[in-house]
Chains A and B, each alone.
Chain A
C-alpha cells in the first residue's frame, strides 16, 4: 500500500432486487494495491457487491468511486476495471484469439493482435488460439476469461470465484499468477470460498451477511469466526 489513495470506495450503497434487500448501506474502502476477499454464504450479496463495484449494477442509493471519481455515467473510466465473472463472457462463435482481440479493441489497447497472442501465451492457451470456446474445457475457458480481464492492463481486478472449475495444477498456476499480480501493486477484489486460498491472497477479509459487511478483519483469522 505505497499509494495512499483509494482504488474503490463504496459509499452507503443499497441495492434491492424486487423487495429483497441485497446490499444494505454498504460502506467500504479498498486502498490502491490492496487485496481483499469477500466471503459469505450463498445469496449474501457477494456477487452483487462485486458487480456493483464494477459499475455493472446501478445501486438504488449510494455511490461507487474509482480513484476518487464517481462511476455513474462514466464509460471512459471503465478501463480501470478488469473483471472475471461467473459467466465466462466469451462469444461462442469467435475463436479464442478473436475473442481477446475484440476485447482489446473495445478497451483501446494499441496493438490488439500482439497483446492477444501474448496473453494467450501467458495463460497457456496459445496452441488453442484458433479454436472456439465451446470446444474447450471449463478450466480453459476460465483461464481465457482471466486473459480477457487482463487485456487492457487494469489497475483494479475483480474476480468472482476465479478458481471454479480448475483442476489442481491449474489452481496452483492461477494462485501463482494472482500472487504476481498482487505483487505488482494491482488492486484485487475476490469472491472466494476456499479458506486456504483466502489466506494466501488476502490482505483483508470481509464477511458479508444478509447484505451487511459484518466483519472487517485485518487478518485471515476472521475467516474462522465467520465460518
Chain B
C-alpha cells in the first residue's frame, strides 16, 4: 500500500463519512426500496432497524465480556476502553431494540410487551448493561472500576445462555424466521451491514475518545505533581 493510500485508508474521517453515507442509504432503502408489507403496512419497516440494533446489542455484549477478560488477564486499561465503549454502545443498541421491538409488537400483536423468550432476553441484557453502567459510575479509581466492570461483564456473559434456555422453556411467540420477499431480504441484509458499520464506527470513536480522556487526565496529574 502506498503512503497516500495508507493515509486515506487509516483516516478516521473517511470511515466516518462512509458510515454516515451507508446508514443514510440504508434508511433510504428501508423506506423507498423495500415493498410495503400486506398485513402490517408501513410498521413492518421497523423490522429492518430492529434486527440490526438487536444483533449489535448482543455482539457488543460479547465484545464487552471478551475485552473484560483480557483486561483481567493483562491489566491494561486499553482493554478497559474497549470494554467500556462496548458497554455504552451495547446499552444504546439494546435500548433501541426494546423501543423498536415494542413499537413493532404494538402494530403486529396489538400489545406493547409480552414475555416472549427473545424479549425477555433483550430485557435481561438491557438490565445487565444498565447495572454495569451504574456500577462503573460509582467507582473513581480507573483500575478498580475496570475490574468491577469486568467481573459483572463476565458473569453476565455466563448468564446469557441460561437466560436463553430458561426463557425458551417458559413461553414463546416471537417470529423465528419469517418468510420474506427477495427485495425485503436484500434490504434487511443491507440494513444490518450498514447499521453494524455505523455502530462499529461509533464504538471505535468512543474508544479513542476514552483513551484520549485517559491520556489527558494523566498529563494533568503529571502537570500538577
Residue of A nearest to B220 (CB): A19
Report B25 CB to chain A, min CB distance, Å.
44
Report A183 CB to chain B, min CB distance, Å.
41
Indicate if A217 sits at the interface (CB-CB under 8 A).
no
Chain A binder among B78-86, B92-100, B138-146, B186-194: B138-146
Within 8 A of B (CB), among A1-34: 16-21
Report B83 CB to chain A, min CB distance, Å.
18
Count how many chain A residues have C-beta atoms less than 8 Å from C-beta atoms of the other chain. Answer: 8
Within 8 A of A (CB), among B140-187: 140-143
Residues of B within 8 A of A20 (CB): 221
Residues of B within 8 A of A18 (CB): 140-142
Residue of B nearest to A211 (CB): B225
Docked CA distance A210–B142 (Å): 21
Residues of A within 8 A of B217 (CB): 19
Docked CA distance A36–B194 (Å): 65
Docked CA distance A210–B224 (Å): 12
Residues of B within 8 A of A210 (CB): 225
Q: Judging by beta carbons under 8 Å apart, are B221 and A19 in contact?
A: yes
Indicate if B218 sits at the interface (CB-CB under 8 A).
yes
Q: Judging by beta carbons under 8 Å apart, are A19 and B218 in contact?
A: yes
Residues of B within 8 A of A16 (CB): 143
Q: Judging by beta carbons under 8 Å apart, are B225 and A21 in contact?
A: yes
Indicate if A221 sits at the interface (CB-CB under 8 A).
no
Docked CA distance A60–B218 (Å): 15
Count how many chain B residues have C-beta atoms less than 8 Å from C-beta atoms of the other chain. Answer: 9
Q: Judging by beta carbons under 8 Å apart, are A21 and B141 in contact?
A: no
Docked CA distance A227–B140 (Å): 33
Docked CA distance A19–B221 (Å): 6
Docked CA distance A96–B140 (Å): 37
Most buried by A among B142, B217, B218, B225: B225
Residues of A within 8 A of B140 (CB): 18
Within 8 A of A (CB), among B197-225: 217-218, 220-221, 225
Report B76 CB to chain A, min CB distance, Å.
11
Docked CA distance A210–B220 (Å): 16
Docked CA distance A21–B223 (Å): 12
Residue of B nearest to A20 (CB): B221
Docked CA distance A19–B142 (Å): 8
Report A62 CB to chain B, min CB distance, Å.
13
Q: Judging by beta carbons under 8 Å apart, are A21 and B143 in contact?
A: no
Residue of A nearest to B143 (CB): A60
Residue of A nearest to B139 (CB): A18
Q: Judging by beta carbons under 8 Å apart, are A17 and B221 in contact?
A: no
Report A51 CB to chain B, min CB distance, Å.
15
Docked CA distance A45–B140 (Å): 19
Report B77 CB to chain A, min CB distance, Å.
10
Docked CA distance A116–B41 (Å): 81
Docked CA distance A20–B225 (Å): 9
Report A226 CB to chain B, min CB distance, Å.
20
Residue of A nearest to B218 (CB): A19
Residues of A within 8 A of B141 (CB): 17-18
Report A69 CB to chain B, min CB distance, Å.
21
6 further contact pairs, Cβ within 8 A, besides A18-B141, A19-B220, A21-B221: A17-B141, A18-B140, A18-B142, A19-B217, A20-B221, A60-B143
List 14 A–B pairs whose Cβ atoms lie within 8 Å, in order of A's numbering.
Answer: A16-B143, A17-B141, A18-B140, A18-B141, A18-B142, A19-B217, A19-B218, A19-B220, A19-B221, A20-B221, A21-B221, A21-B225, A60-B143, A210-B225
Give the 3 A-B CB pairs with smallest separation, nearest first. A19-B221, A18-B141, A18-B140
